[in-house]
Each structure stands twice: as C-alpha cells, then as structure tokens.
Amino acid sequence: MPDITDQFRLDGKVAVVTGGSRGLGREIVLGFAHAGADVVITSRKVDVCVALAEEVRARTGRRALAVGCHVGKWDDCTSLHEAVAREFDHVDVLVNNAGMSPLYGPDVREVTEELWNKVLAVNLSGPFRLSALFGAQMHEGRGGSIINISSGAALQATAATLPYGAAKAGLHALTSGFADAFGPNVRVNTIVCGRFLTDVSKAWDLDALTADLRRFQPLQRAAEPHEIVGTALYLASSASSFTTGAMIRVDGGAPI
C-alpha cells in the first residue's frame, strides 16, 4: 500500500485563498504551500498579500500570486478569476475564508440596511460568485475542492451575531448546493469554526470567554490559528476523496 501521508500532499496543485493575508487564511496559505501547492493570496489590502507572497516564496519555494480583491463586489470576484487564469492554467482548490462581522448595539433594530448588505455581500454573495466561477472551471477541467470557512454562529446565532450567523447559514446551503452542481469531480465542504485567537479576538473579553469555555467546552480553550490547517489540508487533498457536502466542526467540542 502507498504511504497514507502522500495523500495529504498538494504537489502540482494551485490553491486560491480569500482573506489569505492574515488570521486563518494566512495559516492555510502557509500550510498549503508547505504541502507543495502554489498559492493565490487575496484580500482587500494587496500590500499585505504581496508581503506574504514573498514570504511563501522564500520559505517554501512555491509560486505565490498576490491579488487585491473585495469579495463582496462581484466585479472584483470576476477580476480575481481572470487574474488567476492569466497566471495559472488550472485551479484545484478554492478556500472561501474572507469574512466580516461588524459590531452593533444591543438592540437589533440598530442593524442598518448598509451593515446587513455588507455582511451578506462578503460572507455569502462573494463565496457564491467565486464558487460559481472557480467551481465551473474545476468541473470542466481536472476537478478540485472548494472549502468554505464558517462559524458556530451559523448553527446557533446570538443577538450580537444575527447578520453574520444568517450569512454563514447561507454558506452551509451553498455547500450542499455546489456539491450537487459540480459533483462528482469537485468536492465542496465547510469547516465550522469555533473560537480562534486571530486579530478579531483582540476585541473579545478573553477572561469571560475563557470562563465560558472551561464550563461548556470539552477542550476548555480557544484555538490557535494554525489549528485550522490540518482540517483544511485534509479537505484540499485526495485524503478526503469521498467527502463532499460535509460540515466539519473544528470548535473544541462547543455545545450547539
């Protein structure tokens, strides 16, 4: 039998990661590059993407393309797809990681139309457009994998996360829908994330969070960003060849 670890390699593959310049996206980019993939790093701040692309090339020797893109704008999504096509003759993996969850007051009536539309544009409309574009390319070519990054808010939203939770719940619907649309040679799955200590966590009350996690979550802690990479690598690689339409929780056992 072949070495099972070979199934987790991404040699010869091209991976596009949105929101790839920091947080979970940065860790996924570096993890994929170390596993042999060439990577496309995209976010609204192209200069940060360029810096990470240089780091990828220096640390791994892989090709890395930096592209500025606001995934909440369909024209930007189209431009991203075209930019990747000019650089690479195929794409094997799309990670819809870019997201946002702006704060609003305690009264849900304070959610403005602008905030609602902005949250759904980035967290739902962008992944739909990019999955349609890159998924069709994969489907017509050599196949591939689409990985959506979701949140426990999609399963149990709170008063403070209603727009975000609604958008991420919609992302779950896209997962099953695109798995059907582009099967059998394109797999589409979602990672449902718990609490990760990214830049966003700087706004959290970490003492209160830690107390809650110790009471209600089996692993009793928040995750470090690199702890997303194992699941993402599984879903991107041939190791997950019979996994599609799945929602995989990486949340330390958080109650739903």
pLDDT tens profile 164-198: 999 999 999 999 999 999 999 999 999 999 989 88
Is the CB of residue 124 less than 8 Å from the CB of residue 113?
Answer: no
Give the pLDDT confidence score for residue 205 in this predicted structure.
65
pLDDT at 226 over 70: yes
pLDDT the model gives residue 1? 61
Q: What is the pLDDT of residue 76?
A: 98
What whole-number percentage of the chain has pLDDT above 90?
86
Mean pLDDT for the stretch of residues 244-251:
97
Nearest to 25 by CA among 1, 44, 2, 6: 44
Confidence of residue 202 (pLDDT cuts 50, 70, 90): low
Q: Which residue has the higher pLDDT, 2 or 103?
A: 103
pLDDT value, residue 216: 87
What pLDDT was estimated at residue 29?
A: 98
| Average of per-residue pLDDT values in the chain | 94
Give the separation between CA 44 and CA 27, rounded to whole angstroms. 17
User: Is pLDDT of 14 > 80?
Assistant: yes
- pLDDT exceeds cutoff 90 at 208: no
Residue 160: name the closest of 229, 231, 103 by CA.
103
Query: From its phi and psi, is residue 61 left (phi > 0), alpha (psi between -120 and 50) or beta?
Result: left
| Tokens 């706004």 sit on residue | 203
Give pLDDT, residue 9. Answer: 97
- Count how many residues are written for the chain: 256
CB 13 within 8 A of CB 82: no
> Within 10 Å of residue 242's Cβ, how many Cβ atoms?
6
What integer pLDDT is reported at residue 47 of this predicted model? 97
pLDDT for 50:
98
Q: Specify the pLDDT at position 209.
A: 77
For residue range 97-120, list pLDDT tens digits in order. Answer: 999 999 898 899 999 999 999 999
Catalytic site residues? Answer: 164
Alpha helices in the chain (DSSP H): 23-34, 46-60, 74-87, 113-120, 126-140, 162-182, 206-216, 229-236
Whether residue 204 has pLDDT greater than 70: no
Assigned CATH topology for domain 4-249: Rossmann fold (3.40.50)
- Give the three-class secondary structure for 185: coil
- φ, ψ (nearest 5 deg) of residue 250: -125, 80
Q: Please report the sign of the dihedral spanned by the C-alpha atoms of residue 182, residue 183, residue 185, residue 186.
A: positive
Tens-place pLDDT, residues 137-158: 999 999 999 999 999 999 999 9
For residues 94-109, b (16+ Cβ closer than 10 Å) or e, as one string?
Answer: bbbbbbbbeebeeeee
% of the chain at pLDDT higher than 70: 97
